[in-house]
Structure 1
Amino acid sequence: MRKKPRTVFRALDGIVLLDKPQGLSSNQALQQVRHLFRAEKGGHTGSLDPLATGLLPICFGEATKIAGLLLGSSKAYETTAVLGLTTDSDDADGAPLLQRPVPELDDATIEAALAPLRGAIRQRAPIYSALKQGGEPLYAKARRGEAIEAPERDVVVHRFDLLGSEQGPDGTRLRLHVECGSGTYVRSLVRDLGEALGCGAHVASLRRLWVDPFSQPRMFTLDALREIAARGEAVLDGCLLPIEAGLSAFPRAAIDAEAALRFGHGQTIDCEAGEDGLVAVYSLAGRCLGLAQREGGKLSPRRLFRWAAAATREPEQPVAPSA
């Protein structure tokens, strides 16, 4: 039996917008894409449950330095909730806990239950989640059968709207649209909606539609990436977005070559007046050199890309427009 050849990795920077398939963990999806691109370093920007599909931004190389920033971005989902049954994971992959009859429901009743779950709310995380207690994910404790008191935390839900309802083979189903801030669990929203309706509920399907700043993403499935890879690595690399695409929502500060030299070596530099806060610092050629804290007319480096120190020693190429 012939062994599969080992992947020879390469230095690669950029972001690929993966349409994650159902059944894979986010890390499994990341590793498949990383091997396909032969990227030395990779990371994703916020886990999707194995049951979930949709947008999973994957960062390679220097783009991993902004992955944490994308974790805190707003996100949108479409989910299907099945009423009448609760599970231990709050989704269809979990073990059934309690079956209850579903009352007669109309749109007004459902809206009344949705309304308190919008805005700034306090939410209890699912026990099967990646949140850590004592340095260990909750799901690891849950799998061992330990009693868990899942933590509550403050989250923001911008939209939680009913798209439609239908009778499925497993009972009444609600199609819902969710737009929310960082740390929000759609499974918890559906669980709490079911309790407000008096019958319980769990997530049957979940799809992530977008993540800021990728509000109209061009996503690639794994199969599509494999087909593109068969046409050559240069063609595959055309699927990558530049790091700048992930920073489009940040205020910009452009600096000249002399300032870029000092900034690239970690020195605080003068800048034009602007609102204080984290900004993306660009060379005059349009390449992002890193992130800085702007305060009182000064830019203090916070995160530099490896090319920042060489910005004035190497000819710069204009950055390709983001897709």
Structure 2
Amino acid sequence: MGFVEPEGAGLVIVDKPAGMTSHDVVARCRRAMRTRRVGHAGTLDPMATGVLIIGVERATKLLGHLALTTKAYTATVRLGAATTTDDAEGEVVSSASAAVVDEDAVLAGIAALTGDIEQVPSSVSAIKVDGKRAHQLVREGVEVKLAARPVTVSSFAALAFHRAGAFLDVDVAVECSSGTYVRALARDLGTALGVGGHLTALRRTRVGPYDLSHAVTLDELAESPRLSYDIDEAVLAGFTRRDVTAEQAVDLSLGRWLDPIGIRGVYAAIDPDGRAIALLEESGRRAATVFVVRPAG
């Protein structure tokens, strides 16, 4: 029995430019790839640049299963002013000269924000409050107070310091868990130092296993439409592998289940020809399909 091949399916890792929403990027990718079946994972704010994962054709169904639990960024924190949005697009709500702040104090503040911490998300986040996004409520003039939640900042390093009058700009690199707001780190660092802080630049360099080394710009994609990973490469990069026999591959293509072998989380079933057949998840005595990459046909 043959499989229905997912033609043209895979991931495009876009290096998103500043000033565009993630939805804008999807629209550009639809035109470039000449298909409506395009989606994205891991939204980026308009001011942010860097890695945005785009799914094309059948790979759009992969996006919800990708383990995008770790992210990496470079950013610039401006100490000396706090804003309504915790970034340069907001209005300044307080300011104090950072000229007296020394680098050792900044490093101590960064160390205090590293590890497992409780973080209050930015008020202009996409978190829902009473059915509405927090950033929508803020734009409507509603005061939003979000509860702190646990996040992990596995690495927070100062790369360079730049004095600019009353401001101190700090270039930083951050590796963190999904749900961590780098702009909130800037805000909290400024608060701890007593001068206020906000982001002036943010670039995402990695999401899960997908980084800038495979990224293309939108102009490059328009000129030469291509996938960063075909669907097999995307599955192998994003999931633990389980090799299956040709007979088992047929069973999975029909939506049947296999015996579990003790792999935690969603993983990939790969046939003897190296093709991704399905994503599986074990529960009790079954390793059941959560997504069939190549259905029978």
TM-score computed with the length of structure 1 as normaliser: 0.84
Per the alignment, residue 295 of structure 2 pairs with 308
| Residue 260 (structure 1) aligns with | 249
Give structure 2 stretches of 5+ with no counterpart: 1-6
1:165 equivalent to 2:161? Answer yes
1:242 pairs with 2:230: yes
- What amino acid maps onto 2:245 in structure 1? D
Q: Which has the higher contact order (CA 8 A, sep 6+)?
A: 2
Give the Cα–Cα distance (whole angstroms) in 2 for the partners of residues 261 and 224 of structure 1: 39
Q: Distance in 1 between matches of 2:255 and 2:135?
A: 41
**1:117·1:189 contact (CA, 8 Å) conserved in 2?**
yes
Paired amino acid for 1:263: L
Q: Distance in 1 between matches of 2:188 and 2:92?
A: 16
Partner of 1:205: 201
Which of 136, 140, 144 is residue 140 of structure 1 equivalent to? 136
Structure 2 residue corresponding to 1:220, chosen from 216, 223, 243: 216
TM-score (norm 2): 0.91
Task: Tell me the percent identity.
Answer: 34
Of 284, 290, 300, which residue of structure 1 is paired with 2:278?
290
1:216-252 deviations in whole A, cap 9, x for unaligned? 5221111222232xxxxxxx23x44112333324221
Cα gap change, 1:189 to 1:244, in 2 (>3 Å): farther
Shift of residue 44 of structure 1?
1.0
- Structure 2 counterpart SS, 1:308: coil
1:72 aligns with 2:68: yes
Partner of 1:269: 258
Alignment match of 2:97 (pick from 86, 94, 101): 101
Q: Tell me the CA shift for residue 66 of structure 1.
A: 2.1
- Structure 2 CA distance for aligned equivalents of residues 265 and 170 of structure 1: 66
1-structure distance, mates of 2:222, 2:59: 22
* Residues 279, 293 of structure 1: 8 Å contact kept: yes
SS at match of 1:146: coil
Aligned equivalents of 2:118, 2:138: Cα separation in 1: 22
Counterparts in 2 of 1:5-16, with a 5 A limit? 12-16=8-12
1:104 Cα offset (Å) = 2.3
| Aligned AA (1:299) | A
Shift of 1:296: 6.5
SS in 1 for 2:35: coil
Asked if 2 retains the 8 angstrom alpha-carbon contact of 1:46 and 1:71, the reply is no
Per-residue CA deviation, residues 93-145 of structure 1 (Å, 9 max, x unaligned), is: 11111111215233321121111211111111111111111221111111100
Deviation at 1:176, TM superposition (A): 0.5
Q: Deviations over 1:139-158 (max 9, x none)?
A: 11111001211232211111
